[in-house]
């Protein structure tokens, strides 16, 4: 989730678990701890793919958090001179503020390695968008009250805000399951009801869902709103040049990106380069994460890069999304044709663009 939401969550959780004993310090340090795991973005690894896939790894690991909690709690307790008297409060504060950060991030689709290093599988449920006002605003209200006054009503507002957000997160799981069920029903005639699929919350809400389905030779994308009167989910099909994966099989970047995306990706050739697209985040023509991983040299496709493509989201507005959420069956944005899948049988027959 975004930094503002995580800061507010930390403050609210800090007040809830330790506010009575530590006073305003609980919310203040909770806010700091709520932003701490995301400081891993300051670490620069060897290449853009490593930066992309190692974010939310060790700093979001529940195992690392458990091991580091006693040390961080001891430092904070010693700083304020009350470690002996408030050991339990500091331990609860640190553990729950860091843990809730990691668990909330796992509700987005990016990928959070909750059990690193024992299990590095990225968990990305997709039941929440990275920014959701119905998560952020209640948390800001609760955090604001906790920081503004020590009166009893402020603590009650803080707890109510936390309860409201927990209820909303629970609702998002239910809404996601409804979207998946609609997708399975729509795909059953084509024999794809059991195909790999993701239901992803659309920006800023949990009423509209984008469903991505992987199939041989490409993928399908469909949109469904819980407010639709016609609940039939319609899919748009797009090609993917998966044949390009064979000559790039030795590419460490391709292997790692495949693993991190869980197989929800597309390949295309563009001007003599192979582009890897993460299909989980973005829309056709405006995906958030794309990487150059191969190039055409001396008549063959060879690993290259990796290099991340810069994307512009200029021209995208929220009005089509708003219309689709309330039942307009048009696509939320006019679909942009994916790069054409060239007619070829072998990778060598795919010539680079002029």
Read off the pLDDT of residues 127-146 as tens digits, 9 standing for 90 and up. 999 999 999 999 999 999 99
Cα angle: 213, vertex 262, 278; to 5 degrees: 70
Q: Specify the pLDDT at position 342.
A: 33
pLDDT at residue 205 greater than cutoff 50: yes
pLDDT score for 286: 85
Residue 201 β-bridge partners: 209
Percentage of the residues of the chain whose pLDDT score is greater than 90: 82
Six-digit token pair at 252? 């460490």
Q: What number is the average pLDDT over the span 91-120? A: 98
Paired strand residues for 197: 213
In three-state secondary structure terms, 82 is coil
Q: How many other C-beta atoms can be found within 10 angstroms of the C-beta atom of residue 340?
A: 10
**Encoded tokens for 347:** 């990778």
pLDDT digits (tens, 9 = 90+) for 226-255: 999 988 999 999 999 999 999 999 999 999
The pLDDT, as a whole number, for residue 170 is 99
The angle formed by the CA atoms of residues 289, 304 and 283, to the nearest 5 degrees, is 20
Contacts 24+ apart (CB under 8 A), 208-211: 208/321, 208/324, 208/325, 208/332, 209/175, 209/176, 209/179, 210/283, 211/179, 211/180, 211/182, 211/183, 211/235
> How does the average pLDDT of the chain come out, rounded?
91
- Close Cβ partners of 129 (under 8 Å, ≥ 6 residues apart): 108, 200, 201, 202, 203, 204, 205
How far is residue 10's CA from residue 96's CA, in Å, rounded to a whole number?
8
Is a pLDDT exceeding 90 seen at residue 166?
Answer: yes
Q: Per residue in 305-350, pLDDT tens?
A: 899 998 766 666 778 888 889 887 766 655 444 433 332 233 333 3
Residue 105 pLDDT greater than 60, yes or no: yes
Q: How far out from the chain centre does Cα 353 lie?
A: 33
pLDDT at 181: 97
What Å distances lie between residue 163 and 166, 170, 174, 308, CA to CA?
5, 11, 17, 40
């Amino acid at each position: 989730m975004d930094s503002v939401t995580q800061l507010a969550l930390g403050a609210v959780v800090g007040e809830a678990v330790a506010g009575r004993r530590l006073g305003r310090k609980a919310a203040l340090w909770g806010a700091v701890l709520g932003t701490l795991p995301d400081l891993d973005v300051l670490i620069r690894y060897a290449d853009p793919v490593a930066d992309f896939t190692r974010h939310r790894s060790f700093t979001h690991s529940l195992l690392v958090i458990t091991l580091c909690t006693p040390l961080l709690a001891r430092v904070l307790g010693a700083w304020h001179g009350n470690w002996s008297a408030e050991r339990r409060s500091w331990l609860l504060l640190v553990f729950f503020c860091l843990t809730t950060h990691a668990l909330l991030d796992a509700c987005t689709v990016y990928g959070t390695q909750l059990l690193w290093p024992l299990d590095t599988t990225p968990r990305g449920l997709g039941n929440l968008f990275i920014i959701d006002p119905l998560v952020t605003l209640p948390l800001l209200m609760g955090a604001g009250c906790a920081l503004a006054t020590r009166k009893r009503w402020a603590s009650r507002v803080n707890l109510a805000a936390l309860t409201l957000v927990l209820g909303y997160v629970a609702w998002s799981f239910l809404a996601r399951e409804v979207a998946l069920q609609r997708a399975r029903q729509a795909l059953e005639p084509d024999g794809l009801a059991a195909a790999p699929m993701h239901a992803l919350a659309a920006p800023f809400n949990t009423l509209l869902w984008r469903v991505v389905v992987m199939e041989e030779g490409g993928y399908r994308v469909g949109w469904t709103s819980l407010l639709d009167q016609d609940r039939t989910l319609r899919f748009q099909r797009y090609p993917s040049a998966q044949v390009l994966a064979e000559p790039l099989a030795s590419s460490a970047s391709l292997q790692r990106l495949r693993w991190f995306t869980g197989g929800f990706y597309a390949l295309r050739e563009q001007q003599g380069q192979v582009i890897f697209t993460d299909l989980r985040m973005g829309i056709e023509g405006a995906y958030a994460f794309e990487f150059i991983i191969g190039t055409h040299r001396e008549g063959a496709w060879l690993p290259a890069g990796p290099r991340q493509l810069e994307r512009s989201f200029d021209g995208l507005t929220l009005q089509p999304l708003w219309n689709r959420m309330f039942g307009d069956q048009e696509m939320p944005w006019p679909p942009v044709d994916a790069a054409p899948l060239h007619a070829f049988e072998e990778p060598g027959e795919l010539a680079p663009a002029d």
